[in-house]
Structure 1
Amino acid sequence: MQAIHSRLGKMETMYERFKIKKQGDHVVLLFHDADEGDEGGEFGYLRSAVGKTLAPLLAMPQVKFEPIGQASNLKGIIGRANKASEAIAKVDINLYGPQFAAKEVGDMLSHGKLWLQKSTHMKRGVTYDNPHFLRLEIGGVPIQCTQPVTQTRNEGPTGKKKREERLQKMVEEVYKSLDRSRDLDMVDGGDRVTQELLKHQQEALGFMLERETGHINDKYRLWETKVLDDGTEKYRHRITKTEIKNGIQPDERGGGILADEMGMGKSLSILALIMKTLDDGKEWVKQQENSATAEEGILKRSRSTLVIVPSALLVYNWINEINTHLKEGVKTIKYHGPDRTKKLSKVLNSDIVVTTYSTLKAEFQNKSTKSLLHCIDWYRIVLDEAHIIRRRATLFYRSCDELHANSRWCLTGTPIQNKLADIGTLFAFIRAEPFSKAAVFRRWIEVPFEQSTDDSAIATAVKDRLVMLIEALCLRRTKDVIKLPGLRSYLRELEFTPEERKQYENTKKILMRMICHRVGEVDKSSHFGLFQMNLQMRLLCNHGTYQQPFSWRRRSYQDEREAAISALGHNSEISCSGCQSPMPILGSSWLRSDYNKHCNHVLCSECLNESGRLAKCPVCVLTLGPDMMGSNVSNSEDVPDWPAQGNIGNNDDYYFHKEGHSTKMKALIKDVEKDLNETKSIIFSCWTRTLKLLSRYLEEAGIQYLCIDGSSSLSQRQTKLDQFATDDEKRVLIMTTGTGGFGLNLTCANRIFIVELQWNPGVEAQAIARAIRLGQKSEVSVTRYLIKGTVEEEMRSQQRYKKQLAALGFDELPDADDHTVLNSYVANMQMIS
């Protein structure tokens, strides 16, 4: 590693070009100036699947390879890596060859699931001809797909932003082009539902029944009918143009996507569908019992609907919705936790089963025992917050995809987050043939979009195809179709007192000097960079002179994790540091781990249970050893000598002065006191630490309150939420955004206070949406706080662009490849270049 890093350091060019060759079972890259037998000439090897696909092409003399990588990126990755798994670098490989070989090369790459992309840095003056580029005809005139390359595309953040803007424009045009005049049957919920459905919910029920029965309006079918001269009928797919001439109309029954905005009552629409079709489910089981299948004797059919949700909190929410809106007698099973039933017969004889993605994934992974949920052919499957499965490679997607069902439904307010492939994955899950195959979606949607320009005929064709797919398979409405109480937003711009300003500026100078001094350091124990500096300045804006000078020397990883969560956003995922499986951030209980006070490791509930009652992080013990772990923490440059309990970073006695002043807390309390007895208020902060200071101010003002943070167990959260809804004495609820973002219905509150602005405005939107939803009777006011002349003003400007994306129903989140793991996210923010 040192030799490679040293060799990269000697480069004088922006890009490094490599040689490529087959060596044993691997395909390796060598430095361009490496001689035969040069032991230091090897740079690295390709992943096995990629190498296996490229190896036969290396034997074709007419095909030339040009691996190329950005020197600074390669050097940074190699320099930071402490082990092989961290030394994974991105290198592009350009392919050059004669046009007659293009099809053969394209087919070989496709077979290995590799698709050629337009190069960002290729030789000038050559003709670009991609065999994977879709050839189209517009009005009978073929579109020329080959073109001379005259300039390179923008790279880095600018290129990414341009790609996001193109996606934003495409999605906006698709939504505008949807048929708003679509005539949907309004279907009443029936006598098994105690809550009367609103108009848009009746239309949703009509849409879902239409999709499940197959009685679809010809205008919204994906297969169109044509009568031949001999009177027979043929069917042609409106997008792929595939034809069927056997006279049998393709079956388009199944499920779909209900993509209404959050807070419009999607769960009630689904419950009404379940009640409306209970008898149909029983009849379906009888019909299927006599039909032979390849898995006869293994699969057991059930009339039941399986509902899969992101967290245990949402399990309870769904069960509460069932108890509230459906008549008694519905057989409901909570399939979650160690006490869940193991009796197949009980599950089969149910109406609704509610489980979590994590439970499903854990059973799917368990090789020793067959997953009970995968032994059943369900009448219906419903994925709540379905965007969680948007990445096909994850176990979340695979465990859901391999379930058996008569019909499948996805509920999500964000069907597209940061890639068109997001909605393509949902189409695959609901079995929207032929788009259940990733290659088909890429060929007809993704690749043409990636290789088109904004105003080209190809971009128009892609938009038209997406409109066809969404109109046929998806129902999306905004809150404009329902009458919710108004929303008033206020921004309180505050000025520090002279004492607060002095402490803020002094802290900023000290931190800047330290960061400048540490430029180039890669030792893990010295990671304290721009991310931590920004965090400390934001905390100072909240805490004022209560915060002790140099408190940042007593580092709190909990503060860092809570800040990183808010930056990632409500729909993002983190990966378990133990088993590497993804899990949703919000609604999880991983923040409650007792031993993660000195590291950034995050464990899923299964790994937490399997680790038992360890006093130290099992990942740290595994990688560092118990002795090294203890000395690493106590000797860290950023942490002074730790007391015996090893918890100074999270001990407020070492963080806050007993006396002090916070301009923001004082203004917040003054606002809360107004009309206190006529309102109910929720106060959000991303930091548990800030809530502790806020509780001091509330107690001094004599205001009774309830508090929910990352340390609150699931049962404690539910108890406090119920108390907040019913207790007129406790009119204030304070909570962290991480615990308040998922699955809460807080329509009893009509005032929201957001202590600090967030990098990702989607987090704030989620918090506000807890109150702005069906059931809210009063106007809701939202008050945000900002200290002038601080880092908070920069955050305000950052939010404006991101809010444009959120308004379209998809989030701007870090790419999965860049920020899959919370540890990686924090590490990237920490590094100084």
Structure 2
Amino acid sequence: MASYILPSKGAFQKHSSGEAGSPFSQPVQPRRDNFGYDENGWPLFAMPEPEAKAKPLPSTPSSDDDGEGREDFDLNNVQLTAEDYERHHDADKQMRELLAGAVGDGEGAAGTTREEGDDVVKGFAKDIRLMPHQVRGVHWMRERESGRKRGGILADDMGLGKTVQTLARIVEGQPTAAEKRLYKGGTLIICPLAVMEQWATECRTKTENGLLKVTTHHGPKRAKSAKELRNYDVVITTFQVLVSEHKAKTTGKSSPGSDSDSDVPLPIKRSRALAKERAPALFDLKWLRVVIDEAQNIKNRKTQAAEAAYSLTAKFRWCLTGTPIQNNVDELYSLFKFLRAKPLDDWSVFRSRVSVEVTEGRTGIAMKRLHVILKAIMLRRTKNATIDGKPILNLPERNVDVVECEFDSDERAFYTALEAKTSVAVSKFITPGTVLASYQRILTLLLGLRQACDHPSLVVTRMRADEDVLEEETNNIDSDAEADGLADLLAGMGLNGQKKSDAEQKQTVQQSQSYKGLTGLPPSSAKIRMILKLLAEIDERSAKKEKTIVFSQFTRFLDIIERFLVNAGVKYTRYDGTMSAAKREEVLHTIRTSKTIRVILISFKAGSTGLNLTCCNNVILTDLWWNPALEDQAFDRAHRLGQQLDVNIYKLTISATIEDRILTLQTQKRELAEAALSGTGVKNMKLTMSDIMYLFKMG
């Protein structure tokens, strides 16, 4: 539109035939009043206020990076157009503009010419070869650790080998003599507990024997001082330990239970002597390189994990994540803060120059500013991308089948009664002015309906074992953000420790007393019957060779499934957040190597990211996730590099229940995280009150 109405240059300017040197022969200078004109002839009263020109950012090293300097990006020279100042609140356009032209630009700058032998990394085991996209990724990472560049975001799709590319950089980029004098620590890798041992195994098996000294820094026997960690080239730790040692550094006390091997914090009483013994070793070292795997774990700048990550001292910093943005652009701030990407690593600057612009609808301005940094420091390739006209990966097919399970008469009666009672309860929370304060309770009511689709007893007996399903944000919902975290919350919605009233509990138990189960077993359910049927069909068609992952958000449901598997003579193993790191590795080894154990039960929180389970080519999803991007993460445990068979995914659902409506909303919001990165469009990423009312059939 601007190109049609832009006036000829000088059309609005005053002209004079005065002589040279006359005041009227000089160009009219822009003025900020109703009578000024800009250099293109626009009347200034029709234009928005221009950006204030900030002073050039200093190029001298800042005090918190030990004289190594930080990468500065100039946001003041962004070329803005009239269209950028237009106000709109289209989230589709916001995310499309955010990454269009930004993702992967740095790859080309690193050089794309392929030469013979460039897939070989000096120091890697002889049989390890990089794929073409990994070769280019390693070149890009090398370039991002040169000059004043200090790392970046490797945001490749899950399964494209972020680990092996990072390991190649670690091997190639070992410290120089000068660096060793300043940085006594090698490379620190921070990751979820579920993949800690996997990282250690990759470091040991993909490199030449003895090349890297590797240790895992976790549990009660971990190193007590920084001096011990100096002896290793690679130190691998978890977010829990990072938070614990950061607390010890700042307060002198470590977090309760953070030294445990479990993902679930335990109320452990710690003696003063033990607390003193646990010195903040991670923070007493200057690291050459810090790598945060699954970096979406620090997306919330207010969390302890994010604050701890900011406090580490390092020369190079890397974020590995397949989902750098899940809900909104503010999540990028935390990554910028960790990476020291000036000036957007300062919240006041990020807020004023990005967040406020988005809030007020001027997303064009915000996106162009973000592009300045993103196209320099982030690299992302998707599974369907191509190199030289050829697909990056030739993965087997991934077939997703939505399988309808039929309630029996007792299950249907139970669900119908629960739904009616829930609708009455929800109606009490939609009084104007009280909705935000009731979000947590509303989520709990939604949870009950979803649990009833799995098994009635999940509603009757609410076990603490399922409390880990709720994300940390449950305790931090605030009205200012209009529950920004709701998409995440419903993605992992579970128990929040809020007990039902005695009246509610009594009524639910009375409704369930007529429900009859199998002799010697807990009551069956539609989904349990379907799980057993599918497992039998898989065994029959594959001659008992194919293996299956069974996912559930509710550990209590996994407990029930186990009893039916035992009764049916199905051998299985189980992986959940209560297990120690050693036990987890034992379970993974079993499912990968055993010929008789062909089923693994996995709780979503513990095993939805990071795990490599290409030994399984069947996935049964027992309950639906609100955010379909999280489902994709679970599917990618099997559908990833190394899979040789077609992957069959079965999403179990109950018709005429809340799950029908969740499937509909999934379809409407399918692009939640995936499209935000691919630039193909994204719908509203929040769970709106309209969505909630729809889920309760009240919309």
Q: Could you state the TM-score of these two structures normalised by the residue count of structure 2? A: 0.69
Q: Which residue of 2 aligns with 1:354?
A: 236
- Structure 1 residue 662 and structure 2 residue 522: aligned? no
Instruction: Indicate the SS of the match to 1:706.
Output: strand
CA contact (8 A) 1:305 1:382 kept: yes
> Take 1:513 and 1:444, find their aligned partners in 2: how far apart are those partners?
45
> Take 1:137 and 1:396, find their aligned partners in 2: how far apart are those partners?
32
CA contact (8 A) 1:208 1:273 kept: yes
- Structure 1 residue 277 and structure 2 residue 173: aligned? yes
> Take 1:710 and 1:717, find their aligned partners in 2: how far apart are those partners?
9
> Take 2:601 and 2:398, find their aligned partners in 1: how far apart are those partners?
20
Q: Which residue of 2 aligns with 1:431?
A: 340
Cα deviation for residue 667 of structure 1 reads 2.6
> Take 2:535 and 2:157, find their aligned partners in 1: how far apart are those partners?
29
Cα deviation for residue 654 of structure 1 reads 12
Q: Which residue of 2 aligns with 1:490?
A: 401
| One-letter identity of the residue aligned with 2:164 | L
| One-letter identity of the residue aligned with 1:264 | L
Of 61, 74, 92, the residue aligned with 1:165 is 92
- Structure 1 residue 207 and structure 2 residue 207: aligned? no
Per-residue deviation, residues 90-125 of structure 1 (Å, max 9, x unmatched) = xxxxxxxxx99xxxxxxxxxxxxxxxxxxxxxxxxx
> Take 2:567 and 2:672, find their aligned partners in 1: how far apart are those partners?
41
Q: Which residue of 1 aligns with 2:65?
A: none
> Take 2:214 and 2:238, find their aligned partners in 1: how far apart are those partners?
15
Per-residue deviation, residues 793-819 of structure 1 (Å, max 9, x unmatched) = 001011123321222256999889x9x
Per-residue deviation, residues 551-605 of structure 1 (Å, max 9, x unmatched) = 845544555x36x53xx6xxx756699xxxxxx99xxxxx9xxxx99935xxxxx
- Structure 1 residue 476 and structure 2 residue 385: aligned? no
Instruction: Indicate the SS of the match to 1:808.
Output: helix
Of 168, 180, 198, the residue aligned with 2:131 is 198
- Structure 1 residue 467 and structure 2 residue 467: aligned? no
Cα deviation for residue 165 of structure 1 reads 3.5
- Structure 1 residue 327 and structure 2 residue 254: aligned? no
Q: Alpha carbons of 1:533 and 1:394: their partners in 2 closer, same or farther (altered >3 Å)?
A: closer
Instruction: Indicate the SS of the match to 1:213.
Output: coil
> Take 1:653 and 1:724, find their aligned partners in 2: how far apart are those partners?
38
Instruction: Indicate the SS of the match to 1:490.
Output: strand
CA contact (8 A) 1:171 1:808 kept: no
CA contact (8 A) 1:680 1:748 kept: yes
| One-letter identity of the residue aligned with 1:657 | G
Per-residue deviation, residues 188-242 of structure 1 (Å, max 9, x unmatched) = 453421222211111111111112123xxxxxxxxxxxxxxxxxxxxxxxxxxxx
Q: Alpha carbons of 1:378 and 1:791: their partners in 2 closer, same or farther (altered >3 Å)?
A: same
Q: Which residue of 1 aligns with 2:420?
A: 509
Moved more, 757-766 or 777-786: 757-766
| One-letter identity of the residue aligned with 2:517 | H
> Take 2:606 and 2:350, find their aligned partners in 1: how far apart are those partners?
36
Cα deviation for residue 350 of structure 1 reads 1.7
Instruction: Indicate the SS of the match to 1:212.
Output: coil
CA contact (8 A) 1:134 1:443 kept: no
Instruction: Indicate the SS of the match to 1:382.
Output: strand
- Structure 1 residue 317 and structure 2 residue 198: aligned? yes
Q: Which residue of 1 aligns with 2:573?
A: 706
How many residue pairs get matched? 562
Cα deviation for residue 334 of structure 1 reads 1.7
Of 606, 609, 619, the residue aligned with 1:742 is 609
Moved more, 695-704 or 130-139: 130-139
Of 284, 293, 297, the residue aligned with 1:384 is 293
> Take 1:141 and 1:715, find their aligned partners in 2: how far apart are those partners?
55
| One-letter identity of the residue aligned with 1:312 | L
- Structure 1 residue 796 and structure 2 residue 663: aligned? yes
Of 762, 768, 781, the residue aligned with 2:635 is 768
CA contact (8 A) 1:751 1:782 kept: yes
| One-letter identity of the residue aligned with 2:416 | E
> Take 1:739 and 1:208, find their aligned partners in 2: how far apart are those partners?
29
- Structure 1 residue 671 and structure 2 residue 575: aligned? no
Q: Alpha carbons of 1:381 and 1:414: their partners in 2 closer, same or farther (altered >3 Å)?
A: same
Q: Which residue of 2 aligns with 1:92?
A: none
> Take 1:657 and 1:706, find their aligned partners in 2: how far apart are those partners?
25
Q: Alpha carbons of 1:131 and 1:271: their partners in 2 closer, same or farther (altered >3 Å)?
A: same
CA contact (8 A) 1:681 1:733 kept: yes
More strand per residue: 1
Q: How many percent identity over aligned positions?
A: 28
Q: Alpha carbons of 1:202 and 1:277: their partners in 2 closer, same or farther (altered >3 Å)?
A: same
CA contact (8 A) 1:486 1:780 kept: yes
Cα deviation for residue 420 of structure 1 reads 2.3
- Structure 1 residue 534 and structure 2 residue 470: aligned? no
Structure showing greater relative contact order (alpha-carbon pairs closer than 8 Å, 6 or more residues apart): 2
Instruction: Indicate the SS of the match to 2:675.
Output: coil
Instruction: Indicate the SS of the match to 2:517.
Output: coil
Instruction: Indicate the SS of the match to 1:479.
Output: coil
CA contact (8 A) 1:555 1:639 kept: no
> Take 2:51 and 2:228, find their aligned partners in 1: how far apart are those partners?
51
| One-letter identity of the residue aligned with 1:346 | E
Of 254, 260, 265, the residue aligned with 2:161 is 265
| One-letter identity of the residue aligned with 2:291 | V
Per-residue deviation, residues 679-736 of structure 1 (Å, max 9, x unmatched) = 1101112222322332343334322112234444443332112101111100011222
Cα deviation for residue 393 of structure 1 reads 3.8
Cα deviation for residue 139 of structure 1 reads 12
> Take 1:467 and 1:206, find their aligned partners in 2: how far apart are those partners?
21
> Take 1:757 and 1:597, find their aligned partners in 2: how far apart are those partners?
16
> Take 1:598 and 1:466, find their aligned partners in 2: how far apart are those partners?
36
| One-letter identity of the residue aligned with 1:198 | M
> Take 1:141 and 1:320, find their aligned partners in 2: how far apart are those partners?
49
> Take 1:538 and 1:282, find their aligned partners in 2: how far apart are those partners?
58
Cα deviation for residue 463 of structure 1 reads 4.0
Segments of 5+ residues of structure 2 without an aligned counterpart are 1-31, 34-44, 55-74, 253-275, 385-391, 478-484, 487-491
Q: Which residue of 1 aligns with 2:599?
A: 732
> Take 1:709 and 1:484, find their aligned partners in 2: how far apart are those partners?
28
Instruction: Indicate the SS of the match to 1:692.
Output: helix
Of 399, 410, 428, the residue aligned with 2:319 is 410
Q: Which residue of 2 aligns with 1:624?
A: none
Per-residue deviation, residues 323-366 of structure 1 (Å, max 9, x unmatched) = 22122222112222222112433322321111223322322222
> Take 2:169 and 2:113, find their aligned partners in 1: how far apart are those partners?
14
Instruction: Indicate the SS of the match to 2:609.
Output: coil
**1:221-260 to 2 correspondence within 5 Å?**
252-260=148-156
- Structure 1 residue 683 and structure 2 residue 547: aligned? no
Q: Alpha carbons of 1:789 and 1:674: their partners in 2 closer, same or farther (altered >3 Å)?
A: same
> Take 2:85 and 2:556, find their aligned partners in 1: how far apart are those partners?
59
**1:88-167 to 2 correspondence within 5 Å?**
162=89, 164-167=91-94
Cα deviation for residue 666 of structure 1 reads 2.2
Cα deviation for residue 312 of structure 1 reads 2.6
Q: Alpha carbons of 1:375 and 1:798: their partners in 2 closer, same or farther (altered >3 Å)?
A: same
Instruction: Indicate the SS of the match to 1:405.
Output: strand
Q: Could you state the TM-score of these two structures normalised by the residue count of structure 1? A: 0.59
CA contact (8 A) 2:223 2:281 kept: no
Q: Alpha carbons of 1:338 and 1:179: their partners in 2 closer, same or farther (altered >3 Å)?
A: closer
- Structure 1 residue 599 and structure 2 residue 497: aligned? yes
> Take 2:641 and 2:583, find their aligned partners in 1: how far apart are those partners?
25
